[in-house]
Structure 1
């Protein structure tokens, strides 16, 4: 019985040690998180998916991805000609970047004001 208890404690410690902390933001526009952003414990890898229009960064997403392999892959989307670059990493907060919090209503208000100024 003591052996079973000891093994369960060791396995629990290994599982706790293998988790890492990742930033999560579903939609980042020009380095500003629209909506809510947070940090979570992740049992996979952290990922940062960036979208480029040509060579200019457009928007990105930070996440915890359980099936992500630590590398960089590039995919091209044919309809709008956007390039997606997904980077996976395995250290705490490695998918960071500038993630200033911005509420959705404030972001939409700023966009509306900018559009009205351009008209």
Structure 2
């Protein structure tokens, strides 16, 4: 196109246009994979939305009751579990990485890839 001209690009014709027209209806129909993925995401997100809705609901002294009775136990258990998992996963990961880096053994390539899977 030249500068200053008022022409527009010419739409494709022939086999290119036919291929383009064949792809359009598929984009409008949701696939089974998309529907199942959206359903799974909704199921996973439902508890989060429930907790958030309870946070903004009028006070029913539920939080005060939890704080007075079991909240400190739950928080300390969660922090202890978090610390244990961090130490365990870190030490296991460092040990496995060292073994893969320092030694040659059968299945080393497969083992290396399996170490990357949690990432």
Assess same fold via TM > 0.5.
no
Greater helix percent: which structure? Answer: 2
Q: TM-score range by the shorter chain?
A: under 0.3
TM-score by length of 1: 0.24
Higher RCO, 1 vs 2 (CA within 8 Å, ≥6 residues apart): 1
Greater strand percent: which structure? Answer: 1
